[in-house]
Chains A and B, each alone.
Chain A
Amino acid sequence: NAGVIQTPRHKVTGKGQEATLWCEPISGHSAVFWYRQTIVQGLEFLTYFRNQAPIDDSGMPKERFSAQMPNQSHSTLKIQSTQPQDSAVYLCASSTTGEVFFGKGTRLTVV
């Protein structure tokens, strides 16, 4: 069990460019979560899928952020027209019921 796999581990984008972050949840896990971690805001919830269906995206900034789960083995978080305030560690996590397992995160830096 390799755990939740996130790629890339680090990404640097120029302001205004697009960034796509990838997540491979643990096989058999039905729930996939995306969070964003910054020193100022802490651990913010972004969005959540269960059995590939979007359940709650209430934490997503509406205009530039989108997430998809096209199959049970991966999810993507796309940020269009990245801004410096998007710089953060983006964490993907998965679970069945109860304990949530986190990936190592993608550190996004917008310059």
Chain B
Amino acid sequence: GEKVEQHESTLSVREGDSAVINCTYTDTASSYFPWYKQEAGKSLHFVIDIRSNVDRKQSQRLIVLLDKKAKRFSLHITATQPEDSAIYFCAASNNNNNAPRFGAGTKLSVKP
């Protein structure tokens, strides 16, 4: 089955800098790659996703890149703000009767 590896367990950046979180996956059939944010004491909520028919997607300060050849995808948060501090989870699924499998999470700290 699909296994998703999230490379950074923790990440600390200065406010205004960019943060990059990297993930790899194993199943070549995976075609849908969402990202979720978990703030302290709260559950996960969706932030952005990318499908395998594109290699880049941007939503405001969030950019997702997908490299299907390397089975790698990444979340870039530009102009970070303290409220971006949270745990970020990447996930992968083939969207065909397949539940998303999640990485272990990256704890992002944005310091003022």
Contacts and interface: CB of A to CB of B under 8 A. Distances in A.
B95 A99 contact: no
Given A100-B46, A103-B43, A42 B104 contact: yes
Interface string B27-50: 000001010100000111110010
A105 to B, nearest CB: 6
B46 A35 contact: no
A50 B103 CA distance: 23
Interface range, B side? 20 to 34
Interface residues of A, number: 21
Contacts of B1: 58
Contacts of A31: 99
B102 A35 contact: yes
Given A99-B34, A100-B34, A33 B44 contact: no
A99 B46 contact: yes
Contacts of B36: 102
Given A42-B104, A43-B89, A43-B104, A97 B95 contact: yes
Contact of A50 (B43, B97, B104): B97
B55 to A, nearest CB: 18
A104 interface: yes
Interface string A86-103: 000001000001111111
Interface of B: 1, 32, 34, 36, 42-46, 49, 89, 95, 97-105
Given A42-B102, A98-B32, 8 more contacts: A33-B100, A56-B99, A91-B43, A99-B49, A100-B46, A100-B100, A102-B36, A102-B43
Interface of A: 31, 33, 35, 42-43, 45, 48, 50, 55-56, 58, 91, 97-105
Give 7 nearest A-B pairs by CB, closest first: A42-B104, A48-B99, A43-B102, A102-B44, A102-B43, A99-B46, A104-B43
